[in-house]
C-alpha cells in the first residue's frame, strides 16, 4: 500500500476501496448558490475560469479527458509531459486547465487552445496553459472517493510534485465572506465552497457550491442574425437553454467577439442552418435571423435576468467545446 494511504488513521483507511483504476469517472459538479452561512465544516477554493480535466495516469500512459470524455492530450501536450514526469504512476486526479491574463485565469485567452488536436500547432500558438489540481480520486490500487475531502486534498498535495505547468489549487478554512470579497475585488470568477467531510460524488451536488462574482453561464446557440454595416461573419447569436426538455429563448448576444471568432463561428453556423426554429417559445423570424441546429454551446456573461427570463447586457465569453448542449439549463441560485 502507498505510504500516504498506509499512514491514514484506521477510520479513514476503512473508507478505502481496493480496485482497478477506472477508465472513466463522472466528475463532481458544483451547484450555483447565492451564499449562505458556512460553519467550520466548509473549505473555500478559488473558482477557476478554464476547462475541466480528469487525469488518468497508468504506468507510462496519461489520458487527459474533458467533461464530455474528449481526449485532450494533443491539445495540451505540455501537460501530458509534466504528468508523465511524476513519480506516481497510478492515479486519477481532478482539476482545471487554465490560461492567465496577469494573475487572473481567462477562459477567453484559453480559447486559442480549444479545439486544436495537433500537438505542434498547439505549441506554436504560444498561449501557456496550466493544470490546477484540486482533488484525488484514485491512487495505487485504491478508490479514494469515500475519503473525506480534506483527507483527499492532503494526499493530493503530497502524492505529486508541483512545478509549472502543474499547480495545486489551495483552499482556506473559514472567513468565507472576506475570502469571497477579496475574490471579487481581485477580478476572480468566484469561489467554490466545499463540504470538508464530503465524499466525491459523481454528478451535481450541494456539497460543492459555486458563489460567482459575475453572472456567467453556458447557453445553446439556436440561431444568428446577419451582420450590419462593416461587420463580418454575423451580427448576434440567438441563445437558449433547456427547461422541461424544450429549448427556451434567452435573448441575443452581439458583443465580445473578435474578428477571427466572427469568421470561424460564421462558418460553423452556416453549416448548421435549418429552416425551423429550435426554440419552443420563439417561432416567428425577424428580418435577418437564421435558425441553426442547436448543438453548439457558448459561455456568456450578463448583468442579470429580466422578469421574462431574457438576458440583460450579455457579452460573449467563448465557445464551450467541453459542454454538451443537452446539459444546458438556466442556472438559478439556491
Whether the Cβ atoms of residue 248 and residue 279 lie closer than 8 Å to each other: yes
Q: Report the run of H or E that residue 211 belongs to, with start and end.
A: strand 203-212
The cell numbers describing 111, all together, are 480559447
- The H or E element containing residue 193 is strand 190-195
Query: Within 13 Å and on the Cβ side, how many CA atoms surround 48?
Result: 24
Residue 156 near residue 150 (C-beta atoms within 8 A): no
* Helix extents (H) in the chain: 3-6, 10-13, 77-84, 107-110, 119-124, 149-159, 176-185, 259-271
Please state, in angstroms and rounded to a whole number, the distance separating the CA atoms of residues 255 and 280: 25
Q: Which of 47, 153, 194, 323 is catalytic?
A: 47
3-state DSSP helix/strand/coil % of the chain, to nearest 5 = 20, 40, 45
Contact 100, 109 (CB under 8 A): yes
- Residue 47 annotated as catalytic: yes
Dist. CA 293–CA 316, nearest whole Å? 19
- The residues annotated with a catalytic role in the active site are 47
Amino acid at each position: 500500500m502507498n505510504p500516504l494511504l498506509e499512514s491514514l488513521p484506521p477510520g479513514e483507511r476503512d473508507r478505502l476501496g481496493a480496485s482497478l483504476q477506472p477508465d472513466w469517472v463522472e466528475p463532481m459538479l458544483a451547484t450555483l448558490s447565492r451564499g449562505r452561512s458556512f460553519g467550520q465544516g466548509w473549505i473555500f477554493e478559488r473558482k477557476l475560469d478554464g476547462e475541466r480535466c480528469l487525469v488518468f495516469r497508468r504506468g507510462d500512459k496519461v489520458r487527459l479527458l474533458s467533461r464530455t470524455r474528449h481526449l485532450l492530450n494533443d491539445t495540451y501536450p505540455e501537460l501530458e509531459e509534466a504528468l508523465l514526469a511524476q513519480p506516481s504512476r497510478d492515479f486519477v486526479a481532478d482539476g482545471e486547465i487554465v490560461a492567465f491574463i496577469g494573475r487572473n485565469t481567462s477562459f477567453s485567452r484559453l480559447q486559442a487552445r480549444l479545439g486544436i488536436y495537433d500537438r505542434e500547432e498547439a505549441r506554436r500558438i504560444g498561449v501557456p496553459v496550466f493544470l490546477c489540481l484540486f482533488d484525488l480520486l484514485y491512487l495505487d490500487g485504491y478508490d479514494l472517493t469515500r475519503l473525506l475531502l480534506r483527507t483527499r486534498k492532503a494526499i493530493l498535495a503530497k502524492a505529486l510534485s508541483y512545478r509549472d505547468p502543474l499547480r495545486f489549487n489551495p483552499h482556506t478554512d473559514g472567513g468565507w465572506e472576506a475570502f469571497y470579497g477579496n475574490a471579487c475585488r481581485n477580478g476572480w470568477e468566484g469561489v467554490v465552497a466545499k463540504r470538508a467531510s464530503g465524499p466525491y460524488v459523481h454528478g451535481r451536488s450541494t456539497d460543492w457550491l459555486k458563489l460567482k462574482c459575475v453572472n456567467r453561464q453556458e447557453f445553446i446557440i439556436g440561431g444568428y442574425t446577419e451582420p450590419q454595416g462593416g461587420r463580418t461573419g454575423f451580427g448576434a447569436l440567438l441563445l437558449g437553454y433547456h427547461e422541461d426538455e424544450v429549448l427556451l429563448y434567452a435573448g441575443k448576444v452581439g458583443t465580445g467577439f473578435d474578428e477571427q471568432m466572427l469568421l470561424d463561428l460564421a462558418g460553423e453556423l452556416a453549416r448548421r442552418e435549418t429552416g425551423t426554429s429550435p426554440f419552443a417559445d420563439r417561432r416567428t423570424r425577424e428580418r435577418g435571423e437564421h435558425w441553426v441546429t442547436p448543438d453548439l454551446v457558448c459561455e456568456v456573461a450578463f448583468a442579470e435576468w429580466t422578469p421574462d427570463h431574457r438576458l440583460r447586457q450579455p457579452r460573449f465569453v467563448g465557445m464551450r467545446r467541453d459542454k454538451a448542449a443537452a446539459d444546458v439549463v438556466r442556472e438559478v441560485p439556491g
